[in-house]
Chains A and B, each alone.
Chain A
Amino acid sequence: AQKVTQAQTEISVVEKEDVTLDCVYETRDTTYYLFWYKQPPSGELVFLIRRNSFDEQNEISGRYSWNFQKSTSSFNFTITASQVVDSAVYFCALSVYSGAGSYQLTFGKGTKLSVIP
């Protein structure tokens, strides 16, 4: 069975601070994909990044960066110089093959980030 743990339920930071959201996953599959999504108050999921299990290269996109470490089964997400618009719930998710040609996503419980002006 797959499992995604986001231990931080809620985080509050002051604007311009850096913040890291933690994600730890469990799976026995050797091929899998990891995702981060942002869910603002409107509810729509916004895709942020996808990583496959064979690519441990860290990635930076503007103020966002991701640290994937297979040795610790972690896929952490850092926002640099946070802004009020970053306030949202962030979900980490794990995708593994479920048969019949499709993959199934397992979501973590989410971390609610509040950026205070």
Chain B
Amino acid sequence: GAVVSQHPSRVICKSGTSVKIECRSLDFQATTMFWYRQFPKQSLMLMATSNEGSKATYEQGVEKDKFLINHASLTLSTLTVTSAHPEDSSFYICSANPGHGFSYEQYFGPGTRLTVT
């Protein structure tokens, strides 16, 4: 149980285009989903926290207009990188929290490797 998927696993896009990454909780409902970014040889940095049906909360320094997050249902959150540039190339990982007394748990997706050319 507690499986989280991400799609796509890898994406290459041209500078200036937008890319959408999906994060799905497959066998549970996620009251909260998190988006992390990981540069090569670095740690995971939290970008934003999203609760179903409400606006995401972004961490300091993360541009909300560039990284659009939508958490439209209890099983799906999307991250859209708008007008991507080479410096946005990174490994993006989502996680989902099932709530209901286990609010400290986060189940991680396999990650999406974004390369902007």
A37 to B45, CA, bound (A): 15
Most A CB contacts (10 A, CB to CB) among B32, B44, B46, B97 go to B44
Residue of A nearest to B102 (CB): A103
B residues within 8 A CB of A101?
Answer: 31-32, 99, 103
Question: Min CB distance, A96 to chain B, in Å?
Answer: 9
- Decide: B103 and A102 in contact? CB cutoff 8 A: yes
Question: Min CB distance, B57 to chain A, in Å?
Answer: 8
- Decide: A109 and B46 in contact? CB cutoff 8 A: no
Instruction: Check A43/B104 contact, CB under 8 A, given A101-B31, A102-B31.
Output: no
Question: Min CB distance, B104 to chain A, in Å?
Answer: 4
| Contact code string B39-82 (vs A, CB < 8 Å = 1, else 0) | 00111111001010000000000000000000000000000000
Known: A44-B110, A45-B111, A50-B105. 12 other contacts (CB 8 A): A43-B93, A91-B44, A95-B104, A100-B32, A102-B103, A104-B34, A105-B34, A105-B106, A107-B43, A109-B42, A109-B43, A110-B42
A-B contacts, 9 of them at CB < 8 A, read A43-B91, A44-B108, A45-B44, A45-B108, A91-B44, A101-B32, A101-B99, A104-B46, A110-B43
Q: What residues make up the interface of B, taking CB atoms closer than 8 Å to A? A: 31-32, 34, 41-46, 49, 51, 91, 93, 95, 97, 99, 103-106, 108, 110-111, 113
Q: What residues make up the interface of A, taking CB atoms closer than 8 Å to B? A: 33, 37, 42-45, 47, 50, 52, 91, 95, 97-98, 100-110, 112
Closest 10 CB pairs of A and B: A103-B104, A102-B32, A44-B110, A45-B108, A43-B111, A109-B43, A107-B43, A33-B104, A107-B44, A95-B104
